A and B are shown apart, each in its own frame.
Chain A
Amino acid sequence: MNATAPPPPTAARVPVWADPKYLIVFLITLVLVAGEARYSILGGYDRLATTLGICIATEVLLSWWLRGRVANIASAYITGISLALLIKPQANILWPFALGAFLAIGSKYVLTYRGRHLWNPSNFAIALLVLVAADQVAILSHQWGNDLRINLVIWAFGLAVASRARVLHVTLTYVGCFIGLAALRNAIVGGPLLAELAPITGPMYQLFVLFMVTDPRTTVSTRRGRIIVVAIVALVETVIRLAGDFQLALLRPLYPSPPLLALALVGPVAMWWDLFRQGRKR
């Protein structure tokens, strides 16, 4: 997750409180505080300290060393919190947080094309951990208990911030696609429709929909392109989910987190294609 939003359309100076970057910082802090206060979602403050500390330190160090200036740490802050929330390893081990944090920020400086990073940092780190460290790492499977209020508050703030950050179309496209494809999956595999719709009511999806898939730095340059890409992400997610329903062993490593891994597969390809096309136009 990356806080850096596209520049506002006018030259008018935006107050700090209304800057989408800081609104996203506020929103993810709200998720953290609400989740921890009510449901102890972190599983230990050492996890937060580790990810946040290493994300920020890596960002400061690499930006200074490679680019000659210290980057704004808002992006690292958001990445750190989202990793602390989403990584759920075996008890009492901290290395997934430490290495995940370094790899997330490091990916911004290593996995680049034409000066832009291809993966959303936290998406890259989580996908990598889930795929190559499945013996010790899972992702967030908590929910907000049965408290609809917290769910609604976070969705309301999230949609407002997405609107302010001018990525609401991405969020709504994904949600629309998810619902439509849930109905399709239900038609194919049968069973209760609510079981197919259920995932989107949980916090993992909130983090995914409100922060990760909308990351301005890792979405393509046009509005139409972003809508198409996020629809493809939802489609790939559905393919993974159907493979899960039909017990396709080959894709078993992808089952625990279909949306995150769908984004990890689709996002960088779309970014690369977008940057490639921009380069050719120039």
Chain B
Amino acid sequence: MFSWRRFIVAAAFVAAIVAVIVLNARAGGSGASTSETIHLSEVAHASGIDFVHQSPTLDPKVAHIAAHIAALGACVSVADVNNDGWPDLYFTTSRFGASNALYINQKDGTFRDAAAEAGIGSLNRAGEGVSMGAVWGDYDNDGLEDLLVYKWGYPQLFHNLGNGHFEDVTAQSGLRSWMNSNGAVWFDFDRDGLLDLYITGYFRSDIDFWHLRTTRIMQHSWEFATNGGKNLLFKNLGNGRFKDVTDSMGVGSTRWTLAATAADFNDDGWPDLYLANDYGPEELFLNREGKRFELARAGLEDDSKSGMAVAVGDVFNRGRHDVFVTNISERGFLFQGNNLRINFLKELGRFNEIATGPVADAGWAWGAQFGDLNNDGRLDLVVVNGFISADSGREYWYAMSKIAGAQGDIFEDAKNWPAIGTASLSGYERSRVLENHGQAGFADVAEAAGVTDLLDGRGVAMADLFNRGTLDVVVANQKGRALLYRNAGPGGHWVEFKLVGTRSNRSAIGAEVTVQLGNARQRQVVDGGMGFCSQNDRRLHFGLGDQRLGAVTIRWPSGAEQVLRGLAPDQLHVITEPK
């Protein structure tokens, strides 16, 4: 009798092993979906964009892992710099002597680099530091987008003079303070009509990467590190000066923040701060009426990963700001998984994390942005990835795994890290284009859509670059050429909004637009920095799908609410805030 029982148990045992193999194989096939509606073609060179990022050179004391430390700094930010109605692009590079680029839109499908003549090109200088990214915002409400360049070094604020030139106003602004920053966001936290500035710290601010006094510069934990650079909040005083109010407002996190963005997540009318932290949990700082920020317990604190970017989008058209944060996945070694956090702050006081399949696993993911690439009324998601693409026959994962699980004191000291040499680390990964199918989830259609590059993506931004009613995608690659994916999709109905603040900041950063789409409604926010070291166009783009354009509700940063009805689709509407 025992023999047939044993046979049944053995059969179940074998069946379980087969099930493991089958379920694992399913994951491997998740990247092969087709798309009939998203078509992107890479046209950077044809458009006159030949920008190539260069990584910084660092102190020889960390030469053995310089490729790891210096794998940051490729950024792209979008703004209409010259108010001609066409979005322009700003790219940063990170090597002394190399120039950042300001590509002015020529309105004919091409761009021209005007950074040198504008005075915002040659910013990477010994003693001053190297560029890590930039955000645009009209801090003085003169109707011209100004530029903040954050660096490993002294950040620089440039006032847009309106004549194609910029003036460096850092010294008088009060912002000249050495930081090792990889992110910044403009937002008006106290709703006084002036854009304030939050600059994130990554490495500690006492570290000068070209004159290291110590090699104890790394994180002291892979999951709960708190020894990063301090994030700083600067209040705009309105006279061209900024005041550091970090401590009084309670937002001085030292959790190795790589990205920050601002939006009103809890619908109380005040912009909150959401941080993606490397080596630690994400942080949501809820704005208490501009008087202070409170670290929310919103289901984030126990979920420690390696946050690289934070993008905000209304995933299911519920009129809410959901959040996507990129993380690391590497076959066999580490599955942190990206987080797709659905906003239930009102009902449950928390986000629900629902990422699975291609949404969860996008390799070593960096920049990400939501945008309706096929105008079907749902926000798709673009994720760029790849950390270090070097010798494809050698990889650093094993060497890094030796110290990754160790006592923090060991790997906090860079000299204990194994040399990376010429090895790759999650290199040559393909970017993801995740088409939103609503309740059916996201499908990775990158290959079918024409996105096949294997460069090390960092910043990604979206904008209707050619005023066609369709979103294009711009990617800044580390040690690689910038890419411009021109949207060649069939297109559907759409509507776009350019908002001009009056009582609010002129850039209207923080303004929220909710568009009624049949029974659903999609909400978007004008961002002052989103993703990883990137910023989308100030103009908001909504695909309409097969729905009629219903009421459009604008909530301005000042608190004013405006409802517009009967707007025509397939147009850009310029809306000025009622005084």
Using a CB–CB cutoff of 8 Å, the interface residues on chain A facing chain B are: 39-40, 43, 62, 65-66, 88-93, 95-96, 99, 102-103, 106-107, 109-110, 128-130, 132-138, 140-148, 151, 191-192, 194-196, 198-199, 201-205, 241, 244-245, 247, 252-253, 255-256
Q: Which of B3-53 contact A (CB under 8 A)?
A: 5-6, 9-10, 12-13, 16-17, 19-21, 23-25, 27-28
B496 proximal to A (CB < 8 A): no
Nearest CB of chain B from residue A233's CB, rounded to whole Å: 18
Q: List 20 A-B contacts (CB under 8 A).
A: A91-B360, A92-B355, A93-B356, A95-B20, A95-B23, A99-B16, A138-B332, A141-B404, A142-B223, A143-B221, A146-B221, A146-B408, A147-B408, A148-B409, A151-B407, A194-B403, A195-B418, A205-B405, A255-B398, A256-B401
Contacts of A99 in B (CB 8 A): 16, 19-20, 23
Q: Interface majority SS on A: helix, strand, loop or mixed?
A: helix
Nearest CB of chain A from residue B490's CB, rounded to whole Å: 33
Tell me whether A90 and B224 are in contact (CB under 8 A): no
Q: How far is the CA of A39 from the CA of B12 in the complex (A)?
A: 36
Nearest CB of chain B from residue A191's CB, rounded to whole Å: 5
Contacts of B354 in A (CB 8 A): 92
Q: How far is the CA of A54 from the CA of B300 in the complex (A)?
A: 28
Tell me whether B28 and A199 are in contact (CB under 8 A): no
Give the residue of A102, A191, A252 whose beta carbon is less than 8 angstroms from that of B16.
A102
Contacts of A198 in B (CB 8 A): 402-403, 405-407, 410-411, 416
Nearest CB of chain A from residue B160's CB, rounded to whole Å: 43
Nearest CB of chain A from residue B481's CB, rounded to whole Å: 28
Contacts beyond the supplied A133-B21, A142-B222, A201-B405: 19 A-B pairs with Cβ under 8 Å: A40-B302, A62-B9, A90-B360, A92-B354, A106-B12, A109-B9, A138-B332, A141-B405, A143-B406, A145-B220, A145-B223, A145-B408, A146-B220, A146-B407, A151-B407, A198-B410, A241-B402, A244-B398, A247-B393
Contacts of B394 in A (CB 8 A): 247
Tell me whether A134 and B353 are in contact (CB under 8 A): no
B278 proximal to A (CB < 8 A): no
Segment from B333-341, B468-476, B519-527, B565-573 that makes contact with A: B333-341
Tell me whether B28 and A135 are in contact (CB under 8 A): yes
Q: How far is the CA of A252 from the CA of B329 in the complex (A)?
A: 17
Give the residue of B20, B220, B399 whose beta carbon is less than 8 angstroms from that of A129.
B20
Tell me whether B407 and A143 are in contact (CB under 8 A): yes
Nearest CB of chain B from residue A205's CB, rounded to whole Å: 7
Give the residue of A89, A137, A255 whose beta carbon is less than 8 angstroms from that of B401.
A255
Tell me whether A141 and B20 are in contact (CB under 8 A): no
B304 proximal to A (CB < 8 A): yes
Give the residue of A66, A201, A245 whose beta carbon is less than 8 angstroms from that of B406.
A201
Q: Which of B354-413 contact A (CB under 8 A)?
A: 354-356, 360-361, 393-395, 397-399, 401-412
B419 proximal to A (CB < 8 A): yes
B497 proximal to A (CB < 8 A): no
Tell me whether A138 and B402 are in contact (CB under 8 A): no
Nearest CB of chain A from residue B206's CB, rounded to whole Å: 19
B331 proximal to A (CB < 8 A): yes
Name the residue of chain A whose CB is nearest to the CB of B2: A66
Residue among B23, B304, B394, B398 with most chain A CB within 10 A: B398
B303 proximal to A (CB < 8 A): yes
Contacts of B339 in A (CB 8 A): 91
How extensive is the interface on chain B, given as a class? 35 or more
Q: How far is the CA of A199 from the CA of B403 in the complex (A)?
A: 6
Q: How far is the CA of A96 from the CA of B224 in the complex (A)?
A: 26
B415 proximal to A (CB < 8 A): yes
Contacts of A144 in B (CB 8 A): 407
Name the residue of chain B whose CB is nearest to the CB of A148: B407
Give the residue of B331, B404, B412 whose beta carbon is less than 8 angstroms from that of A146.
B412
Contacts of B404 in A (CB 8 A): 141, 143
Tell me whether B10 and A141 are in contact (CB under 8 A): no
Tell me whether B9 and A191 are in contact (CB under 8 A): no
Contact with A along B406-433 (1 / 0, CB 8 A): 1111111001111100010000000000
Give the residue of B356, B397, B410 whose beta carbon is less than 8 angstroms from that of A201.
B410
Name the residue of chain A whose CB is nearest to the CB of B10: A110
Q: How far is the CA of A93 from the CA of B416 in the complex (A)?
A: 35
Tell me whether B13 and A132 are in contact (CB under 8 A): no
Name the residue of chain B whose CB is nearest to the CB of A109: B9
Residue among A89, A146, A204, A241 with most chain B CB within 10 A: A146
Name the residue of chain B whose CB is nearest to the CB of A193: B416
Tell me whether B221 and A106 are in contact (CB under 8 A): no
Known: A144-B407, A146-B221, A192-B417. A138 touches B302 (CB 8 A): no
Q: How far is the CA of A268 from the CA of B574 in the complex (A)?
A: 73
Give the residue of A96, A128, A192, A247 whose beta carbon is less than 8 angstroms from that of B395.
A247
Q: How far is the CA of A195 from the CA of B418 in the complex (A)?
A: 6
Tell me whether A103 and B13 are in contact (CB under 8 A): yes
Tell me whether A192 and B415 are in contact (CB under 8 A): yes
Tell me whether B401 and A141 are in contact (CB under 8 A): yes
Contacts of B403 in A (CB 8 A): 194-195, 198-199
Q: How far is the CA of A194 from the CA of B216 in the complex (A)?
A: 14
Give the residue of B6, B331, B335, B353 whose beta carbon is less than 8 angstroms from that of A88.
B335
Tell me whether A141 and B333 are in contact (CB under 8 A): yes
Give the residue of A147, A201, A203, A255 whose beta carbon is less than 8 angstroms from that of B332.
A255
Contacts of A103 in B (CB 8 A): 13, 16-17, 20
Give the residue of A65, A143, A247 whose beta carbon is less than 8 angstroms from that of B223.
A143
Contacts of A151 in B (CB 8 A): 407
Tell me whether B418 and A66 are in contact (CB under 8 A): no
Nearest CB of chain A from residue B402's CB, rounded to whole Å: 5
Contacts of A199 in B (CB 8 A): 402-403, 405-406
Give the residue of A109, A132, A146 whose beta carbon is less than 8 angstroms from that of B17.
A132
Contacts of A93 in B (CB 8 A): 356
Tell me whether B405 and A196 are in contact (CB under 8 A): no
Contacts of A137 in B (CB 8 A): 24, 335
Give the residue of B28, B224, B304, B418 whose beta carbon is less than 8 angstroms from that of A192.
B418
Tell me whether B409 and A195 are in contact (CB under 8 A): no
Nearest CB of chain B from residue A115's CB, rounded to whole Å: 12
Name the residue of chain B whose CB is nearest to the CB of A252: B332
Nearest CB of chain B from residue A154's CB, rounded to whole Å: 12
Tell me whether A133 and B24 are in contact (CB under 8 A): yes
Tell me whether B5 and A92 are in contact (CB under 8 A): no
Contacts of B395 in A (CB 8 A): 247
Name the residue of chain B whose CB is nearest to the CB of A140: B405
Name the residue of chain B whose CB is nearest to the CB of A106: B13
Contacts of A88 in B (CB 8 A): 334-335
Q: How far is the CA of A279 from the CA of B369 in the complex (A)?
A: 66
Nearest CB of chain B from residue A266's CB, rounded to whole Å: 20
Q: How far is the CA of A158 from the CA of B560 in the complex (A)?
A: 63
Q: How far is the CA of A90 from the CA of B362 in the complex (A)?
A: 11
Contacts of B2 in A (CB 8 A): 66
Nearest CB of chain B from residue A214's CB, rounded to whole Å: 20
